[in-house]
Structure 1
Amino acid sequence: MTLSASAESFDADVAIVGAGPVGTLLAILLGQRGKRVTLIERWSQHYALPRAVTYDHEIARIFATLGIDSENDPAISYHDELYYWKNKDRENLQIVDWQSQSASGWRVRYWFNQPMMEKRLLAIAATLPNITLLRGWQGIGLEQDAQGVNLSLQRNPEEAGPNGDSRTLRAKFVAGTDGANSFVREALGIENEDKGYFFDWLILDMIPHFDYVASRGDEPAQWQLCDPKRPTTIVPGGPGPVAGGPARRRWEFMVLPGENPHELQKPDRAWELLQPWGLTPENAELERSAVYRFQARWAKEWNKGRCLIGGDAAHLMPPFAGEGMCAGVRDAVAMAWRLNGILEGKFGLDVLDSYTSERIEHAKHYINFSQELGQIICIADEAAAAERDAKMIAGLAASAGKPVPTDICQLGKGAWCDESAHAGELSVQGVVEAAGKQGRFDQVVGQGWVLLGHGVDPAAALTEAQRHQLAALEGVSVELSAQAATGGAVDVEGTIGDWFTRIGARYVLIRPDFYVALTADTPEALQTRFAKVMRRLHLAEQPAMAAE
């Protein structure tokens, strides 16, 4: 089932402006479902310098659905180590748990090189014949009506090729993943909510010609130096350019009051800052030197009619929590399952409204958290830093040096049942065995709408009409057990079963983005909450149900 307008009247089901990791992932998730996608990128050549360098367990879980194994991929690295914040005397102020395996079944933190990851994603997209990549084009006009969007493009005059070339694409939907200065956001007239947070930092991406971490003795692999003379971030930068060779490293230096950012990013000045860290032009390569302005802002709307925005077009956050690109990847997945559902005739257009309501609150959580971290780090006053140090050292001692765990963030209100305990949170993943296969749940059972029952058949607890609805969503029902059971899945390590016990549930409905749509402890509660979720999806065809 498709939208009423004929496919012949459209150039694409979805036109995506911006072919960074967010836009390319969105294209893949749509293309894998057979949608016709035009991916538009302003630059004719792939940008080869680093930007984002880290992602969390949730992103590893998403990448795993594409066949990217963050544990065993030469283009991805990790460190079995905590994340330390230290003062100028190298005393611990705070310790963050970046070492444990997360509830998602993946490590809390991974490190990568963005150009390498982008090439990986673009290679996957190239295997899908229904994805068209247009390089060297930029959006200059956008008009939408009830059936679709007319997107006007022009050849980028800064690129090689005939200047002034233009064309218009007709698409059923347009997604803007085109960065902080988003054309799509501006064309839609969407305003930003700005927290007025501005700090300039010098980013230095380095390729040491030696094993930097091993050379530094007891220095952590990933840490913050909270020295008021020059707040500094020292973290991995992902694998190096030679497989098995020295890894990349990143230094971030705060631009101090009165300093000239342009002068600070010149190579000679960069090498001066790196000298205390043992890096010189003789033993390392300066891959990139650039001053970035760390900001905290988000768009007030993320969808308007048949247009959506995501990634930096929708939000900017300081990098101190390592969640900037992560938020964009979540945006791509959230857009994809909704757009796929609409284009396949499953959902009504109104389901896009829950994209804004869910994602904006989720991103705001990380923006606020990142800003709070920045307020601790970006202290250039000696007295204020000494006051901070005393308070944080006392707090760390009171907790007996216990690392701060990664937090659980709930989606904003949307296509999930807010009467269910722990709904709107990321689901737990463990190792299971089913149909003769053993591995992480997502790789064994699959991704999509999954109704889980803990020791019970969840499908039997639904009404007949609801079983039809689950089938219409291409959803599956799985009975989870501690021992082998016909047609079910064995909870090999007990991880998922422990989660059910902890949240007091017997039934859990998981969405395609791995977030929990509902939890229930009785068949009656399951039926009531399932009905509410289906309504919030704006199903194109719904059997008669009792009013909420």
Structure 2
Amino acid sequence: MSNTSHTDADVVVVGLGPAGLLSCLLLGQKGYKVVGIDRWPTPYPLPRAVTFDHEIARILASIGINANDDPAIDYHDDRYLWLNKDGEILLEVDWESKANDGWRNRYWFDQPNLEERLRGILDSLPNVETWQGFEVDSFEQDEDGVKLSYHQVRVDGFVTVPLEGGKKGTIGAKYTIGSDGANSFIRRAVGYELVDLNFYYDWVVVDTTPAVMPTYLTKHYQICDPARPTTVVPGGPGHRRWEFMVLPGEDPQEIAKPEKVWELLAPFGMDPKVDKLDRAVAWRFQGKYLEKWNAGRAFLVGDAAHLMPPFAGEGMCAAFRDTYNLVWRLDLLLQGKADYALMDEWSEERREGAKWYIEFSVGLGRVICITDPEEAAERDAKMIAEYKANPHPVDPHDAVLGQGTWDGSDSLSGKPSIQGLVAYAGRTGLFDEAVGRGWFLLHKHGTSSGLNASQEAKFSAMGGRVLSVGERGSGADVLDIAGSYSEWFSSNKVDHVLIRPDYYIAATAASDSAVSKSFDSVLKNVIAA
């Protein structure tokens, strides 16, 4: 009996980290046949990413994971402080309040547990298969689809090797998503190379399970001590993380040895007799990105498309944004309702969006990673003066998308939309839960949609919904219970807002007559039904 087989699918996803699992899940929920393949025989059991922001909480809510009460996720309504070697505050970041979409600015999670939650949801989708322990060894594509070959592997030490007598085969699909990490096979197969920002610093990342959770000045803080810059943050429920910079002349592998790690943890009250060291690994922080993220029928997301240092806590966030932005487009493409240019727009949007966070993170790192005492003293004096002049917490930043499927001439577009408390069809809650998700054209009650008949038909064929928003008793489709939308419309002097399935604003308009023009401009690559 042959151990070689062939499988057909709508989409094949290579790499089953968080972005790959989310890709499989979103496409599977839309009814597509999906095969996800990963070279490691079992899911990676140790933490890597530990934090995400309000946008990712909103994405997770769309697949049934509530960040406010999920056992894999935690939050701490507390400030994030930067301290110098003497404990003086250099910078204060607001991780206490909520964003305007109703979710907290910052959450903390245990990655293995979160991935287990994603896999559990995937198990309920009969049209999705996930294969662990199969390595892709070739990739080709033509105008009709893609073809991948694979072989079964086993783990030998820290690498995978072919399994003697193991299964081999091919997968044919319409498209592929490369979510296969920093050493992406799919990226190399299409001939793409990352742009290097030449930012390299070695750190040792330490994950622990304390016997008793330690209490510090604040739940999360950055120590900007030139003697050894250090990050102290939560690691999800029951866990804490430390990140220690490897100093010039030090061997990263030596610093990552348990005896040295416990020595570094001692000032924080951690004791090897009672506390557990889950992981200590030398990790090179770096900044890189792709200029182009789509190559014909292949799309690259997550670490396959970009690498960023963790100082802003946005690495996995960027990967989820990549995927959530991609899937609604791929859905239209698979339905024959979009021109491929819609995917080019995805590449432009996500490159610039991720690049913004990479450069932001690199900028933070260049401030944090100072080891010269005189340079550190100059930095401290400047930042302390700025903090005393303006001690209020720094607001978190939301990156604006690169130019794409939104109105670049509109200052409100290309940013995440608000989400308020509403009532709709007998349901009350935040907009996503009460009304739903997808394309929306929201307009103030008392105005029309602004679309002509052909545009309304096109929008409906895309799954779009046109809804009026107004106060109680107004007769509007959506009742604006907390007044969030009324205030937003009024303060921004607009009557209409076009919202995409990834929650980003595509366009706004101040009058009925302006809606039609913006609609056609933004959705020029969506084909009318």
The TM-score with structure 1 as length reference comes to: 0.93
Deviation of residue 157 (structure 1)?
4.6
Q: Report what 1:42 is aligned to.
A: 39
Letter matched to residue 464 of structure 2: G
Trace 1:329-340 onto structure 2 (pairs within 5 A): 329-340=320-331
SS in structure 1 at match of 2:253: helix
CA distance in 2, matches of 1:132, 1:434: 36
Which residue of structure 1 lines up, in the alignment, with residue 468 of structure 2?
479
With 340-349 and 142-151 compared, the bigger mean Cα shift is at: 340-349
**In the alignment, which of 65, 72, 77 is matched to residue 75 of structure 1?**
72
1:468 counterpart residue number: 457
Q: How does 1:179-190 map to 2 (within 5 A)?
A: 179-190=181-192
Map of 1:203 onto structure 2? 205
User: What residue ranges of structure 2 are gaps of 5+ in the alignment?
Assistant: 1-5
CA contact (8 A) 2:7 2:170 kept: no
The residue number in structure 1 matching 2:526 is 539
Contact 1:505 1:520 in 2 (8 A): yes
**Distance in 2 (alpha carbons) for counterparts of 1:496 and 1:57:** 19
1:269 and 2:256 are equivalent in the alignment:
no
> In the alignment, which of 275, 290, 294 is matched to residue 303 of structure 1?
294
How far does residue 397 in structure 1 lie from its aligned partner after superposition?
Answer: 1.0
Tell me if 1:134 matches 2:131.
yes
Residue 3 of structure 1 corresponds to none
- 1:237 corresponds to which of 210, 228, 235: 235
- Structure 1 CA distance, aligned partners of 2:114 and 2:189? 29
How many angstroms does 1:156 deviate by?
2.4
Q: Deviations over 1:186-212 (max 9, x none)?
A: 001011111000000000000000021
Matched letter for residue 220 of structure 1: T
Using the TM superposition, name which of 12-21 and 492-501 deviates more.
Answer: 492-501
Alpha-carbon contact 1:94-1:396 (below 8 Å) kept: yes
CA distance in 2, matches of 1:520, 1:165: 57
State the secondary structure of the residue aligned to 1:212.
Answer: coil
Give the 3-state SS of the residue equivalent to 2:139 in structure 1: strand
Amino acid of the structure 2 residue aligned with 1:433: A
Residue correspondence of structure 1 range 253-332 to structure 2 within 5 A? 253-332=244-323
Is the 1:148–1:171 Cα contact (8 Å) retained in structure 2?
A: yes
Q: Is the 8 A contact 1:421 1:503 kept in 2?
A: no
Distance 2:409 2:345 in 1: 17
Displacement after TM superposition at 1:129 (Å): 0.5
1:488-507 pair list within 5 angstroms: 488-507=477-496
**What does the per-residue CA deviation read over 1:264-316, in whole Å, with 9 as the maximum and x for residues that have no partner?**
11111111111111111112100001010000010121001000000000001
Cα distance in structure 2, aligned partners of 1:458 and 1:394: 52
Asked whether the 8 Å contact 1:179–1:311 carries over to 2, the reply is: yes
Which amino acid in 2 is paired with 1:420? D
The offset of 1:161, in angstroms, is 4.4
User: Which whole-Å deviations, capped at 9, do the CAs of 1:29-78 have from their partners, x for residues lacking one?
Assistant: 10011000000011111111011000000000000011111112222111
Contact 2:440 2:466 in 1 (8 A): yes
**Preserved CA contact (<8 Å) 2:209 2:276:** yes
What percentage of residue pairs aligned between the two structures are identical?
A: 46
Q: Deviations over 1:489-547 (max 9, x none)?
A: 11111222222223221000100000011100111110100111221xx22336xxxxx
Which of 112, 115, 138 is equivalent to 2:112? 115
Deviations 1:201-246 (A, max 9, x none): 0000000000212xx4xx211000000001000000001xxxxxxx
- Pair 1:453 & 2:443 matched: yes
What is the letter of the counterpart of residue 220 of structure 2? Q
Query: Letter of the aligned partner of 2:133 in structure 1?
Result: G
* Offset, 1:162: 3.2
Structure-to-structure mapping, 1:39-188, within 5 angstroms = 39-158=36-155, 161-162=163-164, 165-188=167-190
Is residue 403 of structure 2 the alignment partner of residue 416 of structure 1?
no
Letter of the 2:231 partner, please give it. T
Residue 249 (str. 1) matches residue 249 (str. 2)? no
Structure 1 residues 105 and 189 mapped into 2: Cα distance closer, same or farther (>3 Å)? same
Query: SS of the residue aligned with 1:156?
Result: strand
Q: For the Cα contact (< 8 Å) 1:27–1:37, is it kept in 2?
A: yes
The change in CA–CA distance for 1:10 and 1:487 in structure 2 (over 3 A counts) is farther
The letter for the 2-side match of 1:232 is: T
Corresponding position of 1:381: 372
AA aligned to 1:410 is V
Between stretches 490-499 and 35-44, larger displacement belongs to 490-499
C-alpha distance in 1, partners of 2:203/2:74?
25
Contact kept, 8 Å, 1:298 with 1:316, in 2: the verdict is yes
* Rounded Cα–Cα distance in structure 2 between residues aligned with 1:20 and 1:46: 8
**Which secondary structure state, in structure 1, belongs to the residue aligned with residue 523 of structure 2?**
helix
CA contact (8 A) 1:29 1:336 kept: yes
Residue in 2 that maps onto 1:24: 21
In structure 2, what is the Cα distance between the partners aligned to 1:332 and 1:163?
A: 35
Q: CA deviation at 1:458?
A: 4.4
Alpha-carbon distance between aligned partners in 2 of 1:95 and 1:74, rounded to the nearest angstrom: 28
Query: What is the CA-CA distance between 1:487 and the residue it aligns to?
Result: 5.5
Which has the higher mean CA deviation after the structures are superposed, 526-535 or 155-164? 155-164
| 2:222 is the counterpart of 1:224 | yes
* Of 424, 428, 431, the match for 1:434: 424
Would the aligned equivalents of 2:445 and 2:476 in 1 still touch at CA under 8 Å?
A: no
Q: CA deviation at 1:485?
A: 4.2
The amino acid that maps onto 1:133 is T
Partners of 2:333 and 2:33 lie apart in 1 by: 14
Give yes or no for contact 1:451–1:458 (8 Å, CA) kept in 2.
no
What is the DSSP-based 3-state SS (H/G/I as helix, E as strand, rest coil) of the residue aligned with 1:397? helix
Is the CA contact (8 Å cut-off) linking 1:456 and 1:506 kept in structure 2? Answer: no
Find the aligned partners of 1:487 and 1:312 in 2 and give their Cα distance.
44
User: Secondary structure at 1:44's aligned position in 2?
Assistant: coil
Contact 2:205 2:280 in 1 (8 A): yes
- Letter matched to residue 228 of structure 1: P
CA contact (8 A) 1:40 1:133 kept: yes
The answer to whether the 8 Å contact 1:55/1:325 transfers is yes
The runs of at least 4 consecutive aligned structure 1 residues that moved more than 6 Å come to none
What's the counterpart of residue 3 of structure 2?
none
329 and 458 in structure 1: CA distance in 2 versus 1, 3 angstrom threshold: farther
Q: Secondary structure at the match of 1:369?
A: helix
3-state DSSP of counterpart to 2:205: strand
Mean Cα deviation higher: 255-264 or 495-504: 495-504
Distance 2:246 2:468 in 1: 56
Letter in 2 for 1:50: P
Matched AA of 1:531? D
Contact 1:157 1:164 in 2 (8 A): no
What displacement does 1:347 show? 1.0
- What do the CA deviations read for 1:338-396 (whole angstroms, capped 9, x no partner)? 11111112112221111110000000000010011101100111000000000000001
Paired amino acid for 1:381? D
Q: Which residue is 1:527 aligned to? A: 516
